[in-house]
Structure 1
Amino acid sequence: MTWGFMGVRGTWMTESASMSMRTMAETTGVNWTAIAFSAWQATAFSTEIPYWKDLTVTDEEVIWAIQNAKSLGLKVCLKPIVNCEDGTWRAHINFFDKDVPCEPKWRDWFASYRNYILHFAQIPEQTDCEMLCIGCEMVQTDRRETEWRDLISEVRKVYSGLITYNCDKYQEDNVAWWDALDVISSSGYYPIHDWDQQLDRIEKVVQQFNKPFFFMEAGCPSRTGSSAIPNDWTLEGEANQAEQADFYRMMFDKCGERDWVRGFMLWDWPAQLYEREQAAIDDGYCIYGKEAEAITAQAYAAKRSAMKS
């Protein structure tokens, strides 16, 4: 389960945040968590990522979250993400392929991104995190193979654990540098009745690169209409636990038929959790207090039992 995303500075090292993570572990049966947070660049064509400023959580908060997860027996993937302050989705961060005077450049953006990732790569090394995710859904950057390979090489100098990159949905076969990573991961926001077709496509990538695979993100809002377009967090609709639950059943069933799908970092579980009594009216991705919570706990318990037998 992904924990903490959209948490801002000052919201993690609290009793409510601790309770949120503890509740996540107790009610879902997860054994891994992706601790996710954002640094903010101004626009999709800005070249500076000032990760040391608000609203990004502090190093101390990140270390606290990792230690808290470890105390609950969870394995940890640290997931630093970059977002745009103007609301543009990070997938649209993009620059000219050839340098043009007076225009923002890939080399400047990657230099800033490198500093951001290398800074936070030191923390999982110091805290014994099992995995580091070095990027999330930055579709327009995927074609910059040389820069990504150089960054991976630099990360390996400071972090000795597993390294992955979270490509966006439908992009698994557009990344040419999976061989430089330890694990292939992607966002599994596929329509409820399209899992077979998409898994067939992804399987070819897994076979080509012969790497472990899991869904670094996967989930569906508890909202009418969301199972057909689970990646659209702006879709308007009534709160609908049953629709989310149907999506989770189908996702677990279809992925369970593919032994190369190693698992999920479900999306998502906030650091500031709503009251359980409010679950019926919450239409977001979090499964706390909803039908999908029990479905997840049962699926994970069955997986653990199968692994022991």
Structure 2
Amino acid sequence: MEYICGFTFAPFCGAGVLKEASAKESLKEMKERTGANFVIFAPGGVQKTAHSEEICYTSKDTMTDEELISMIKYAKELGLGVALKPTVNCKDGTWRAFVSFFDHDVVCEPKWGNWFESYTKFQLHYAKIAQEHGCEMFIAGCEMVMTEHREQEWRTLIRAIKNVYHGLVSYNTDKYQESYVNWWDEVDVISSSGYYPIDDWENQLDRIEKVVETYQKPFFFAEAGCMSVEKSNLVPNNWEVRGEVDLMGQRDWYEAMLSAAQKRSWLKGVAFWSWNAKLPSVEEAREMGDYEVYGKPAEQVINQYFTRR
């Protein structure tokens, strides 16, 4: 497995976004400015609430297959490795980690079986695209924390994906959850969201290393990042932090994260969150307190790390 130096590109964007010329221009800028060798595309499926059984991925809320395929082909022209990570979100804004149902079926209540049937169709749709267009990895969802105890359903899903997609298969669990997934033996690569505090990286990597040793699988962070907002580097997973723009605080977080990462031979890379389909001016970017690193000091930290790999 090649070391992943990547970004998630335009996650969950709606139909039409990737059709704009600015999308391909931005992807090229991502590679040139950061030294990335990998990109994750994350088509967004939508369910109404955390307790809805049906997942839609054919509305205007989701990138079209044609747009996605065009971007996969362009990424490969640029020399980038590609992963698809179809990801469910709730229309009402509830975080996907809270998707859940009664563990025992109840008449007239939504059920795990119906949800997994819909989720499987969603995943297999994109697994077939990943196979047909030579994607290097398929990531079977992201941060579905309250579904992860449904071990048999997840095992069945991963096996179904492997029937149609023959590259590396992973699943992106959430921060702090790496130790609680009991079916890592089904995937080829373990991955998680690395939103850990600036001063806690060594501790968290020690913990994750035990999981890697147990399952003897490659590991990478399928997400990681920190906002350019004061104190975000203390709780980088909290996207609701508000305050003054803090470009250096964001840079410091990336330096701490990558300094810790380079000491671990078992850690096979990171795909940072995230890179926009349309870039602002550098001046505008430096005034934004978001996870983007374009035009900010953190971008140079990433470039130095990626180009040394």
Q: TM-score range by the shorter chain?
A: over 0.9
CA distance in 2, matches of 1:25, 1:302: 14
Deviates more, 1:50-59 or 1:27-36: 50-59
Match of 1:118 among 121, 124, 133: 124
1:131 paired with 2:137, answer yes
CA distance in 2, matches of 1:12, 1:202: 35
1:66 paired with 2:64, answer no
Corresponding position of 1:307: none
CA distance in 2, matches of 1:88, 1:15: 32
Secondary structure at the residue paired with 2:211? helix
Counterpart of 1:229, as a letter, is V
Counterpart of 2:254, as a letter, is Y
1:26 paired with 2:3, answer no
Q: Tell me the TM-score normalised to structure 1 length.
A: 0.97
Q: Give the deviation of 1:282 after TM superposition.
A: 1.0
Any unmatched runs of 5+ in structure 2? Answer: 1-6
1:151 paired with 2:121, answer no
The aligned length equals 303
Counterpart of 1:183, as a letter, is V
Corresponding position of 1:225: 231
CA distance in 2, matches of 1:45, 1:85: 11
2:12–2:62 CA contact under 8 A, matched in 1: no
Q: Give the deviation of 1:136 after TM superposition.
A: 0.1
Q: Give the 5 Å matches for 1:34-73.
A: 34-73=40-79
1:4–1:37 CA contact under 8 A, matched in 2: no
Counterpart of 1:77, as a letter, is A
Deviations 1:69-90 (A, max 9, x none): 1111000011110000000000
Q: Give the deviation of 1:148 after TM superposition.
A: 0.5
Counterpart of 2:220, as a letter, is F
Q: Give the deviation of 1:91 after TM superposition.
A: 0.1
1:262 paired with 2:268, answer yes
Corresponding position of 1:173: 179
Q: Give the deviation of 1:287 after TM superposition.
A: 0.5
Q: Give the deviation of 1:272 after TM superposition.
A: 2.0
Q: Give the deviation of 1:6 after TM superposition.
A: 3.3
Match of 2:202 among 196, 199, 217: 196
Counterpart of 1:279, as a letter, is A
Q: Give the deviation of 1:163 after TM superposition.
A: 0.3
Match of 1:286 among 278, 282, 292: 292
Q: Give the 5 Å matches for 1:8-19.
A: 8-19=14-25
1:302 paired with 2:303, answer no
Q: Tell me the TM-score normalised to structure 2 length.
A: 0.97
